[in-house]
Amino acid sequence: MEFIKYADLSRNEWNQYIDQIDGITFNYTAERISFNFEYSKAIIENETFLALDNKIPVAAAEIYIEKIGEEFQISWNGSYCNAPYIDIKLDYRVQENLARKLMAHIDEIAENYQCKKIMLKEDPLGNPEQSSTFYNYNYLLKYGYMDESGMTQLIDLRQSIDKLYSDVRKGHKRHINRGKIYDIKIYGQHNITDEMIELYKDIYEKDAGKVTRNSELYRYYLEFIKNGKGLAAFGSIDGQEVGVVVVTIYKNTAYYSSYGELEEELNHVPIGHVLHWEIINYLKEHGIEFYEMGEQIFGRTHYSNPEAKLINISNFKRRFGGYTVPFWRGVKEYK
């Protein structure tokens, strides 16, 4: 098996390899890796790599070396990197054999940097139908990782629009109907402009009440969309944009990425519900099959004690329907 570092390829070359790995997601594309590398100020080295077997790309892993305090670890922004994704169409035994080699390679990287910890997660959109034998369990546990798994919410857009709407909770339906006072426009590869992404940044920062790392790197969202890997849905009233949702897309999957609104301009009529519903309609019409709304947090776990706000956000996402699936994650510590 041959390992090729992200840093040793052009972004186009990387994406050409990645495109050949069946089932792989947006999180492994050059666009996302570039964003992640700039986002985390703790990263000191990018060891992201792909694996070739007989010159054929079969897997990729997102690996960053971060300095947290005085110690080094494999993580992203102090949290999880994307674990090796192995071509979903390969036989289970082949996947298992490749996994052993990939995880050993990550151990070698950790040893070279004297890392004290490795934090990895498996992308749920890499197995949206929950049909893969290999991805239906937390394979990280076989390699000395402690389970820190969670859950996320997926929507199967292959269903009829009537069925999708019937799955939306009653309260959300009411807000979707009320939200029809807003003019919704969706921007993609062929109509996005620099000005609209500047507007996204402005709305996002006013909503957050400050400049965040996400808003500092707003230009990457423009790149996502211009490269056909994203969409931005804006809602306006009386000619003023007052809300925005950004999603990333890759092949037949999409992920809810960012949201902002100007609450004081909404006249007590929520805009997020109708924005999300219009995005769902647009994704379905354009051939996207699975849409991930985001992590589901129900309460305390052995590794976290979430704020009520995060639980409420999860509930908001879940009320658009779909189904809850595992979000496999693991942490490996070295003494």
Confidence bin at 39 (pLDDT 50/70/90): very high
The total of structural domains in the chain comes to: 2
Residues 281 and 230 in one domain: yes
Residue 263 pLDDT:
87
In this structure, of 63-77, 143-157, 259-273, the range with the lowest mean pLDDT score is 259-273
Residue 19 belongs to a domain: yes
Does the pLDDT value for residue 302 go beyond 80? Answer: no
Residue 294 pLDDT:
92
How far is CA 235 from each of CA 157, 277, 286, rounded to the nearest angstrom?
22, 12, 20
Residues 137 and 170 in one domain: no
Q: Which token pair is 216?
A: 């500092």
- Mean pLDDT computed over 118-134: 96
Q: Which single residue is written with the structure tokens 């009233």? A: 237
Residues 102 and 227 in one domain: no
Contact 320, 170 (CB under 8 A): no
Residues 88 and 164 in one domain: no
Residue 27 belongs to a domain: yes
- Model pTM? 0.94
Confidence bin at 313 (pLDDT 50/70/90): confident
Residues 75 and 91 in one domain: yes
Residue 195 belongs to a domain: yes
Residue 307 belongs to a domain: no
Contact 97, 134 (CB under 8 A): no
CA distance 80 to 69: 17
Residues 95 and 217 in one domain: no
Residue 264 pLDDT:
86
Q: Which token pair is 42?
A: 């703790």
Residues 277 and 249 in one domain: yes
Residue 321 belongs to a domain: no
Average pLDDT, the chain: 95
Residues 91 and 194 in one domain: no
Does the pLDDT value for residue 300 go beyond 90? Answer: no
Q: Which token pair is 121?
A: 């997660």
Residues 138 and 202 in one domain: no
Domain of residue 253, residue span:
159-288
Residue 67 pLDDT:
97
Residues 100 and 166 in one domain: no
Residue 228 belongs to a domain: yes
DSSP assignment string, 196-252 = HHHHHHHHHHHHHTS--HHHHTHHHHHHHHHTTSEEEEEEEETTEEEEEEEEEEETT
- Mean pLDDT computed over 286-308: 85
Residues 15 and 47 in one domain: yes
DSSP assignment string, 124-172 = GGGSTTS--TTTTS-GGGGGTPEE--EEEEEEETTS-HHHHHHHS-HHH
Residue 224 backbone zone (phi > 0: left; psi -120 to 50: alpha; other: beta): alpha
Residues 145 and 14 in one domain: yes
Residue 313 belongs to a domain: no
182: domain CATH number? 3.40.630.30
Residue 173 pLDDT:
97
Length of the chain (residues): 335
Residue 335 pLDDT:
77
Confidence bin at 298 (pLDDT 50/70/90): confident
Residue 118 pLDDT:
98
Contact 95, 86 (CB under 8 A): yes
Contact 192, 234 (CB under 8 A): no
- Mean pLDDT computed over 143-159: 97
Residue 295 belongs to a domain: no
Residue 154 pLDDT:
98
